[in-house]
Amino acid sequence: MADGTDIGYLMGTYSRLPVAFARGEGAWLWDERGTRYLDALAGVAVCGLGHSHPAVRQAICDQAECLIHTSNWYQIPLQEQLGQALCAVSGMERAFFCNSGAEANEAAIKLARLHGHERKIQNPSIIVMEGSFHGRTLATLSATGNRRVQAGFEPLVSGFNRVPYNDLDSVRQVGEHDNKVVAVLVEPIQGEGGIVIPDTGYLEGLRHLCDERGWLLMLDEIQTGMCRTGKWFAWQHEHLSPDIVTVAKSLGNGVPIGACLARGAAASLFHAGSHGSTFGGNPLAARAALAVIATLKQQKLDQRAAILGDRIIARLKEGFQSRTEVRSVRGRGLMIGIDLDRPCRVLMEIALGHGLLINVTAERTVRLLPPLILTNKEADEIVERLLVSVADFLKT
């Protein structure tokens, strides 16, 4: 069916827009009829290097000719190289590889529990935030601060203690009353929650509380990581260092791969047999991710994302200046949110009609996560098409 609610052989987990893409290059996608779309979503922050990037394409082809998969029963030099490359850009010390964001967070949650049991805490709990998103597995949906993600899947996994986002006092209070806390799991900028940027000093404040109490600071950088916000990782806008970081989405530019990175004592909590993944860090995925990291570095795409983000945000602010229906334009690097005064999910379809791919999250926040390889002209084109789409939406 055209509305995508009943597509026969697939379970109805997604409400899909009525379009299928056949080809992609850079920031552009072509549908089956040859119509061209400008992609300001990049597969939800996955294709940071755009579609069919030559370096990633070459890496995948070369590796597929050579060796796709072995097993974590054997040494995997490409996985070791990737661990080293990720530690170099993050300042972390060790990596565990998996295949998705949820799995990376599962690893982090398991590390927190091991950390708690080492400290003789029987029922360790993790502080998580209202409005957060951490994935769809049972543990990660339990950690997620959105009832719609949890509804119907009870009983939830226990051991999460929820507080408001961007509120250090609440975290401090939980610490004073609950001696079972062992870690804080938090997004440096909330993505699904509506591009919520906390106050400067929030992450440093969390770091301070974690140090005081012996908790692990675990940052979910699945959406914010890999140069998107103008730094390799969003926490690097401040002066701190987390104990655990989770990465996925743009790590493989579309090849499924996730990673849980750790530093200090947290890096030595897993032992042989305590965790694992069949596919995790296989030669194909590791090779693709190495190509992604090399390209991000070579082209200094962290700096480029910052410049492009400033440009897009400035032009959007100007373009929406006289529109009282647009409540706020904000972002960091190429993670941009535009709040409207009303629910606006239908804007995704309206924008599609104008050849622009965007997302709406948290009901009324337009979310832009374009690829970092945009030209200035493409960045301006995103703004133009969005202004037209919003004008259309507000007319209806």
Ligand X SMILES: *Cc1c(COP(=O)(O)O)cnc(C)c1O
Active site residues: 133, 220, 249
Q: Which two tokens stand for residue 112?
A: 């927190």
Closest CA to 328 of 341, 311, 315: 341
Binding mask 326-365 for ligand X (x = CB under 6 A): ----------------------------------------
Applying CB under 6 A, the span of 59-67, 162-170, 194-202, 218-226 interacting with ligand X comes to 218-226
369 contacts 44 by C-beta, under 8 angstroms = yes
* Residue positions counted in the chain: 396
To the nearest 10 degrees (0 to 180), the angle between helices 54-66 and 283-298 is 150
- Closest approach, Cβ 171 to ligand X, in A, equals 19
Using the minimum distance from each CB to ligand X, give the nearer residue, 39 or 220.
220
* 193 binding ligand X? (CB under 6 A): no
- Determine if 223 is a binding residue for ligand X (CB under 6 A): yes
**Burial zone of 355 (CB within 10 Å; 0-12 exposed, 13-18 middle, 19+ buried):** middle
Q: Is the dihedral of CA 246, 251, 257, 261 positive or negative?
A: negative
Beta strands in 26-85 (DSSP E): 28-31, 36-39
Q: Is 135 in the site for ligand X (CB under 6 A)?
A: yes
Parallel, antiparallel, or unpaired: how do β-strands 36-39 and 356-357 relate? parallel
Q: Of residues 79-108, which lie at the interface with ligand X (CB under 6 A)? A: 100-102, 105
Q: Based on the shown chain and the rule CB under 6 A, indicate whether residue 222 belongs to the binding site for ligand X.
A: yes
Segment near ligand X (CB under 6 A); pick from 122-130, 187-195, 202-210, 318-326: 187-195
- Residues forming a β-bridge with 24: 29
Window contacting ligand X (CB under 6 A); options: 116-124, 128-136, 370-378, 387-395: 128-136
Which residue in 51, 113, 115, 134 binds ligand X (CB under 6 A)? 134
CB environment 271-305: b (16+ within 10 A), e (fewer):
eeeebebebbbbbbbbbbbbbbbebbeeeebbebb
Distances (CA, A) of 225 to 48, 90, 222, 239, 249: 10, 10, 6, 16, 9
Shortest Cβ 249–ligand X spacing (Å): 6
Q: Is 116 in the site for ligand X (CB under 6 A)?
A: no
Query: Would you count residue 302 as binding ligand X (CB under 6 A)?
Result: no
283 counts as binding ligand X under rule CB under 6 A: no
How far is the C-alpha of 72 from the C-alpha of 282, rounded, in Å? 8
Contact pattern for ligand X over residues 40 through 79, marking x by CB under 6 A: ----------------------------------------
CB closer to ligand X out of 28 and 133: 133
- What Å distances lie between residue 331 and 232, 358, 370, CA to CA? 16, 15, 12
Considering the complex, state which of residue 63 and residue 224 has its C-beta at the smaller distance from ligand X: 224
Residue 25 pairs with which residues in a beta bridge?
A: 28
93, two tokens: 């010390």
Residue among 83 and 225 whose Cβ is closer to ligand X:
225
- Residues 6 or more apart in contact with residue 291 via CB below 8 angstroms: 55, 56, 58, 59, 253
The CA distance from 293 to 24, in Å, is 21
| 142 is a site residue for ligand X (CB under 6 A) | no
Q: Decide: is 220 part of the binding site for ligand X (CB under 6 A).
A: yes
Number of residues located near ligand X, criterion CB under 6 A: 15
CB of 45 to ligand X, least distance (A): 7
Which residue lies nearest ligand X, judged by its C-beta?
101
Contact set with ligand X (CB under 6 A):
100-102, 105, 133-135, 187, 191-192, 220, 222-223, 248-249
